[in-house]
Structure 1
Amino acid sequence: MSSNFENITVNDLTGRISKTVQIANGQTGEVWKGTYTVGGQQEIVAMKAMRSTLFGDSVDAEKTMRRLLREVKVWSTCVHPHLALFIGICYETIREYRVPCLISPFYENGTIKQYLRHNSDAVPMNLFRQILSALAYLHDRDEAIVHGDLKPTNILIDDAGNAVLADFGHSRILGISGFTTNRSTVAGTSRYMAPELMVPENDEITPTPTKASDVWAAGMTGLEILSGKIPYVEIGDKQIPMTIADNKLPNKAQYYPPVPSGAWSAFLKCWEMNPSERPPVQRLSDYFDKNYGPDSIRPTRTRG
C-alpha cells in the first residue's frame, strides 16, 4: 500500500515519542498524552492516533492513509500564531500497517470552553478574534484551506492564554488534486454546520465544506464563546437539522442577551441561508478587530 508520505517533508520522531495516557477518543481516532525526548529533555506532547478498526481490510486502510495524508499535508504547511503547532509524526504498527501518529504540543489549558470556565479574567471576545485571524489565514493562502470542522472543542488555549485552532482532520486544500475528494460522511457537529452541508440540494452528491460553510461555523462558534451557551441551546441534537432546514436561527432576546448587538448583526450575516451572501472571513475579522479590539475604545474628548 502506497501512502506517499515520502513526498511530504515532516519531522519523523519515531523512537523519541512515548505514549502515556489516552485523553480523548472518537469514531476514527484517539488522542494520547505523551513525552517527546529531545536534547536529553522530555517535553509533553499530544499524539493523534488512528483507531485499529479503520484497518480491517486493505480498502479501509487505504482510505484511512489517504485521510491522514490530507491532514499532514494541510497541517504541516500552516504556520500562524493562532493555529496549533504541528511538530511531526511518529510511526506505529496497526495490524500489518505502518501508520503515522500526528504530534503537536500538549495544551495544558484545554479547550476554550474549559479555559473560560476556570479563568474569569479571560476575555472571550479577544479569543474569538484570534480564531478569526487564524481562519482568515487559512482561507487567504495561495493554496486556500477550508477547515471543515470549526467548533469550540477544536479551539485550544496555549500557555500564554491565547487561542489556537486545531484538528485539521476534515480540512481540504482548494484546487489541489487529491485534496478535494468528497467524503461519504460530512464532517462536523450539527449545531455548527451550515444548512447546505446537512440538507444538500442533490441527494446523490455528498456536500463538501467550503469557505462559506466555515463562515457559518465561525458565527455559531462565536455565539457560544461570547454567550457561554451552545447554539440552539433550547433544542435537542436530533432536532437541529430540521430546525436549520426550516431556516430558524438562534434567538438572541430569549437565550443570548449577553452578545453585543454589533456582534449579533455580524453573526446574522454569517448565517445567511445563501452561502454566496456570507461575508469573507477576513472582512469578518476586520470588523471584530475594529469594533472590539484594543483600539476600539477611545477616550471621549472634552472641551477645555
Structure 2
Amino acid sequence: MVDSMRILVPRDLLEATIDLLRKDMFALHELGRKQHLEILFQLYILSGFYPSDPPLQGWEVATADIEPIASAEYADIWKGMFLGRQKVALKRIIRRRDDDLKGAVQMSSLPAGYADKWKGMFLGRQKGTITGSLKRDDDLKDAVQRVNIGRHLWNGLRHPNILPTIGLVTDGIDIGPCLISPWMDCGDLLEYLHHHADVPCLPLIGQIADGLEYLHTYEPPIVHGGLKGDTIFISSTGNAFIGDFRLLQTFSDIEQSRGSMSSSWRTPGNPRWMAPELLLDDTAESRSLSSDVFAFGRVIHECFTRRDPWAGFSSARIIFVVSRGELPPRPLSEDVISRGLDDNMWRLMEHCWNLNPSERPTIQHIARHLRPAIQSPRRKFQYFYYASEYLCALFDAEVMNSILSETQHH
C-alpha cells in the first residue's frame, strides 16, 4: 500500500502537507501533538524524505539514555527515538583536544596559535608547518556552521549507500543541539567486522566505493572530507552507509573559499586517514576528491586488517612519517591474506596513497574495477591503472563481455 501511495501522491504535495502539519504542531499543546505524531510519521514514510527546516524540536526527538553511549572524534553519541517510532542516533558536536599532537618527535615547536603546530619536512625535502586539531572557540563556532551547511547539502542526497539525515534538533532537548540520523544496528565498519569475522571484505568495499562515487559524480561534485571506518555505518542487513556530514562540501564551494576557510577545515580529521598534502598548513591545500580517494585506500586497509591504519603509532609520529612519504607496511598475516588482500588489492591501495594527488585514481576508476569481481564471484579481483581513459573504456568493455559470457554458460 505504501508503494502505491508513493506513486499516486505527488512528492511536492506530501512535502507541503508535512510542512503545514509541523507548523500547526508547533502551536499545539503536548497532548494535541501526540495525536498528530502517527500521521506525521506515516507522511515521512510515504514521501521518503525528512524535514530540513525549521530545525527539529524536542517533541520530535527524545534521547533514550542520560549518558552518551559512545564518543567520536568530534561528537558524543546518544541513542534516541524519532516521533516515538524510529530508532535514531543523536550526535552532539563537541570540541575535543588531541593530546597525541602535543609532542611531535624530531620537530621543533612553533609559538602556539589557534592550533597546535610543528615545523617539519614534507617528503624529507620541503619545509612546512604541520597543523593539529581545532582548538579555539571560533573554530567550534565554525564547526557548527559547517555542520549546518553539510546537513542541508546531505538532505538532497539519495543513494543506497548514503546514510540519510533526519535533521538538526536545536531546542527542547537537554543535551544541546544534535544531528539526527537513522540508527544503524550493527554500528560502524570496524565494530561490525569485529563481531562478524567471516564477512567478506570485497562486497563492503564495493558498496563504500559506490557511495563515494555517487558523491564525486554528483552535480556539482561533493567532497566527503572525513571518510574513515567510524563514518561508515552498517545496517542490520549488512549493507554499508557512508555517513557523518560534518565536513561535507561541494567541490565548487571549496574552490571558491580556498584560502579563506579556517585551518581546521582545510586540514580536518585524524592523520591516520589524511592525505600528506593536508598535513602542511603552509600549502593551504583543501580537502579534495583526491584526498577522499586517499582516505578510501585507508578504509580498505581497515577492512582487511580489522584495525585502524598505523595501529600503535601516535598521531604525532604518523604526521612525521606520512609527511616523509612513508606508507603503512603491507600486512602479511594469514588472516589478512585469507580475507583477500592480494597483490591486486595492495596495488589499488598504493595507487590511492600516491603522494601526488593528481596521480591518484578516481573513485569511478576504482569502482569499475571492483564491480566485475563483486557481480561475478567466480572472477578474481584485478586492478590495472590506466592513465588513458580510452584504455579504461577498453578494459570495461572486455570485462563486461567476459561477465556476459560467463552468465550465458552457467
TM-score, normalising length from structure 2? 0.62
Moved more, 261-270 or 226-235: 226-235
Match of residue 315, structure 2, among 232, 237, 246: 237
Is 1:13 the equivalent of 2:59?
no
Shift of 1:62: 5.1
Partners of 1:125 and 1:226 within 8 A in 2:
no
Deviation sequence 1:254-283 (CA, Å, 0-9, x none): 566551211111111111111000011111
Match of 2:327 in 1: 249
Aligned to 2:302: 224
Q: Does 1:155 align with 2:198?
A: no
Q: Post-superposition shift, 1:60?
A: 6.5
Paired position in structure 2 for 1:85: 164
RMSD: 3.0
Contact 2:62 2:173 in 1 (8 A): no
Q: Deviations over 1:128-155 (max 9, x none)?
A: 1100100010011012111111111111
CA distance in 2, matches of 1:103, 1:136: 24
The residue aligned with 1:102 is 179
- The answer to whether the Cα contact below 8 Å between 2:309 and 2:328 also exists between their aligned partners in 1 is yes
Matched letter for residue 82 of structure 1: N
Is the alpha carbon distance of 1:74 and 1:183 closer, same or farther for their aligned partners in structure 2, counting shifts above 3 Å?
farther
Q: Structure 1 residues 93 and 36, CA, compared in 2 at 3 Å: closer, same or farther?
A: closer
* TM-score, length of structure 1 as denominator length: 0.81
Of 194, 198, 205, 2:279 maps to 198
Over 3 Å counting, the alpha-carbon distance change for 1:142 and 1:35 in structure 2 is: same
Q: Which residue of 2 aligns with 1:280?
A: 362
- Matched with 2:48 is none
Deviation at 1:88, TM superposition (A): 2.3
Q: Could you tell me how far apart the structure 2 residues matched to 1:265 and 1:103 are?
A: 38
Runs of 4+ in 1 over 6 A off after TM superposition: 177-180
Deviations 1:203-257 (A, max 9, x none): 2x54311001000110111011123233233644321111112211122265665
Structure 2 distance, partners of 1:62, 1:94, is 20
* Aligned: 1:145 with 2:222: yes
Cα deviation for residue 284 of structure 1 reads 0.6
Stretches of structure 1 lacking an aligned partner (at least 5 in a row): 1-7
Instruction: Decide whether the 8 Å contact of 1:89 with 1:100 is kept in 2.
Output: yes
- Segments of 5+ residues of structure 2 without an aligned counterpart are 1-50, 97-135, 380-404
2:291 to 203, 210, 213: 213
Pair 1:196–1:64, CA change in 2 (3 A): closer
User: Which segment is superposed worse, 13-22 or 247-256?
Assistant: 247-256
Maintained 8 Å contact 2:52/2:152 = no
Instruction: Work out whether residues 192 and 217 of structure 1, in 8 Å CA contact, stay in contact via their aligned partners in 2.
Output: yes
Question: Aligned pair count?
Answer: 281
SS in 2 for 1:46: strand
> What one-letter code is carried by the residue in structure 2 that aligns with 1:260?
D
Structure with the bigger percentage of helix: 2
Question: Partners of 2:143 and 2:328 in 1: how far apart?
Answer: 36
For residues 57-110 of structure 1, give each alpha carbon's deviation from its aligned partner in whole angstroms, at most 9, with x where no partner exists: 996775344223212122212111111111223222699xxx753211111111
Once the two structures are superposed, residues 16-39 of structure 1 have per-residue CA deviations (whole angstroms, 9 ceiling, x without a partner) of 2111231233564322111112xx
Matching residue's letter, 2:154: W
Identity, in percent, stands at: 28
